[in-house]
Amino acid sequence: MNDYIARVSENLRRQYAHEPEYLQSVGAWLDMIAPAADDPRYEKLDLITRMVEPERMFSFLVPWVDDEGVTHTSHGYRVQFNSAIGPYKGGLRFHPSVTGSVVKFLGFEQTYKNALTGLPIGGAAGGADFNPTGRSPREIMRFCQAFMYALYRYIGADTDVPAGDIGVGSREIGYLYGAYKKVTGRAESSALTGKGLTYGGSRVRQAAAGFGTVYFLARMLEHQGETLEGKRLLVSGFGNMSWGVCRKAAELGGRVVTLSGPDGYVYDPDGVCTQEKYDFMAAMRCQMGQDRVEPYAERFGVEFFPGKKPWEVPGDIAVPCATENEITVDDAVLILANGVRYYVEGANMPATADALRLLRLSPKVLTAGAKASGSGGVAVSALEMVQNSLRYSWSRREVDEKLRGIMSAIYDASAAAAEEYGLGYDLIAGNDIAAFKKIAEAMIAQGL
C-alpha cells in the first residue's frame, strides 16, 4: 500500500469510525487495488478519496400509518455514490438493520459492481429501517408510497435509478413505481428497475441475480476443467438471489441442498430443483412474509436446523446469498473443512474481513467476490433500462443470453487484470482492479 492510499485509509478511519460496514468494504477494496494504484495522477487528483466516498448522500423521514391507525416514523436513505460512467443505479433495502453505514457500504459495492457490466450505470443504494415482516399488503403499499413521496424529486431515468434489494421485491417496486408515476405525472419507465412484465419490466430480471452468479461459477468450473454436473451447492438465504441460483444450477446439472433464513437452515438432499419448490420459496418470501425458512422443511419433509447456518453441511460449492457478514471465521473454517472447493459470493460482503482473508488465501478453495459474481441482477436492470428507452422488450432467451455474455465478460476482465498484476487466479483482486481502473479513467477524463 503506497503512502497516499495509507493516508486516505487513515482519514476514513478517523472520519467514519462509527460506520463499520462502510469501513470494512472500503478497507478490503483498498487492499485489493493497491497493486494497481501507483499511477502518480491518482494522488495529484486526490482520486482515491473521490472514489471511496459518495458524491452525495441524504436521509429523510418516512412517516406512515399502520392498519390500526398508528403512525410510525421510519428513516430513509439514498446514497448517490458515483456517476462517472452513468446515472446513479442501485437497490433499495427495507430492513430494520438499515443504517447510513449499511447504505453507504452498499452504494460503494454497487459502484464497482456496476462498472464492469459494460453498460453505462453509476452506483447508488438506499432504503429504510422499516421492517416488512408481518406487515399487511396494505401497510406495505402505504409504506412504499410514503417512501416515494420523500424520494421522487431526487431520482429519474437520467439521474438515479433505484431497484430492489432485501425487503424490496417486485411487489414493492410496483407500488414505488405507481407512486412515482402519480406524483410526477409521467410514465417514466426507467426511473425504477425490477418492474413487472406488464409495465416495462425485463424478462429474467427476477432470476437474474442468481442466474448471473451461476454463469460466473460455470466459468470458474470450466477453468478447472469441471462442470456443475453432480455438484452439491450450499446456499444461504431464500430470497431472489437464492431462488435464481437454485434454478440455474439445476438447469446445469447441479443441486442446491441448503437454504437458510434468520431462523436456521434446511437440508434438502434431493436438491431444490422442482418448480413446486421454486414456487414455494417465492411464496415464503412474499405471501407468508415471515422471514422464516422452516416452512420449507415442513412442506417438503426435510430436516430443519434451528439457529444454525448451512456451512456445516459437506458440499462442493458455497454460494452465500443472504446478507453481509453472515460468514464468520468459524464458518469459513467449516467451509474449508467440509470439502468446498468454490466459494462464490451472491450477496454483498457476505464474509467478515478475517473470514474472507482465510478463504482467499486457502489453496483449497477458489473465490469470487460479489462485485463480480453478484452483478447479474443489476446487469439485467441495465438491460431493462435499454429496453425501456427502445420502447421494446426482448425475449427471455435474448435477455438470458445477454446476461450470460455479460457475466462471462466480467469473468474475463477479472482474470485478465489479476494476471496483468501478477496476482495469479485471484478473481476478487482482478475484478476490483479492473473496475477501479475503468472508473478512474472515466473520472479523470471528465475533470473535477
- Classify strands 123-128 and 71-82 as parallel, antiparallel or unpaired: antiparallel
The partner residues of 318 in beta bridges, in order of sequence, read 234, 343
Give me the half-sphere count of Cα atoms (radius 13 Å) on the Cβ side of residue 438: 26
Closest approach, Cβ 204 to ligand GLU, in A, equals 12
Read out DSSP for 388-402? HHHT----HHHHHHH
Residues that contact ligand GLU, how many (by CB under 6 A)? 11
Whose grid coordinates read 425490477?
Answer: 194
- Classify strands 123-128 and 232-235 as parallel, antiparallel or unpaired: unpaired
Whose grid coordinates read 464468520?
Answer: 328
User: Interface with ligand GLU includes 95 (CB under 6 A)?
Assistant: no
Q: In terms of CB distance, is 162 or 310 closer to ligand GLU?
A: 162
C-alpha 104/C-alpha 126 separation (Å) is 8
Which of 165, 268, 345, 432 is close enough to bind ligand GLU by CB under 6 A? 165
Taking CB under 6 A as the binding criterion, the range among 247-255, 286-294, 373-381, 427-435 that sits at the site for ligand GLU is: 373-381
Q: Which residues between 172 and 201 bind ligand GLU (CB under 6 A)?
A: 193
Taking CB under 6 A as the binding criterion, the range among 57-65, 84-92, 132-140, 297-305 that sits at the site for ligand GLU is: 84-92
Which of 233, 368, 378, 403 is close enough to bind ligand GLU by CB under 6 A? 378
Q: Which residues between 208 and 247 bind ligand GLU (CB under 6 A)?
A: none
Residue type at 228 in one-letter notation = L
Q: Which residues between 101 and 120 bind ligand GLU (CB under 6 A)?
A: 110
Q: Are 368 and 212 in contact (CB under 8 A)?
A: no
Which of 78, 89, 95, 203 is close enough to bind ligand GLU by CB under 6 A? 89
The partner residues of 264 in beta bridges, in order of sequence, read 261, 306
Closest approach, Cβ 31 to ligand GLU, in A, equals 22
Site track 409-438 with ligand GLU (rule: CB under 6 A), x = hit = ------------------------------
Whose grid coordinates read 470458474?
Answer: 220
Q: What angle do CA 394, 395, 400 make, to 5 degrees?
A: 95
Taking CB under 6 A as the binding criterion, the range among 62-70, 308-316, 330-338, 375-383 that sits at the site for ligand GLU is: 375-383
Which of 54, 76, 87, 90 is close enough to bind ligand GLU by CB under 6 A? 90
Closest approach, Cβ 44 to ligand GLU, in A, equals 33
User: Interface with ligand GLU includes 163 (CB under 6 A)?
Assistant: yes
Q: In terms of CB distance, is 128 or 297 closer to ligand GLU?
A: 128
Site track 37-76 with ligand GLU (rule: CB under 6 A), x = hit = ----------------------------------------
User: Interface with ligand GLU includes 127 (CB under 6 A)?
Assistant: no
User: Interface with ligand GLU includes 91 (CB under 6 A)?
Assistant: yes
Q: In terms of CB distance, is 87 or 315 closer to ligand GLU?
A: 87
Residues 6+ apart with CB under 8 A from 348: 25, 105, 106, 109, 110, 113, 324, 370, 374
Write the secondary structure of 255-286 as one string of H (helix), E (strand) and C (coil). EEEEEEECCEEEECCCCCCCHHHHHHHHHHHH
In 204-317, alpha helices (H): 205-223, 240-251, 275-283, 294-300
Q: What angle do CA 160, 407, 111 make, to 5 degrees?
A: 30
Which of 83, 213, 236, 381 is close enough to bind ligand GLU by CB under 6 A? 381
Closest approach, Cβ 161 to ligand GLU, in A, equals 7
Phi, psi for residue 59 in degrees, rounded to 5: -125, 160
Closest approach, Cβ 352 to ligand GLU, in A, equals 19
C-alpha 210/C-alpha 368 separation (Å) is 14
Which of 297, 377, 430, 443 is close enough to bind ligand GLU by CB under 6 A? 377
Closest approach, Cβ 164 to ligand GLU, in A, equals 6
Q: Would you tell me which residues interact with ligand GLU (CB under 6 A)?
A: 89-91, 110, 163, 165, 193, 348, 377-378, 381
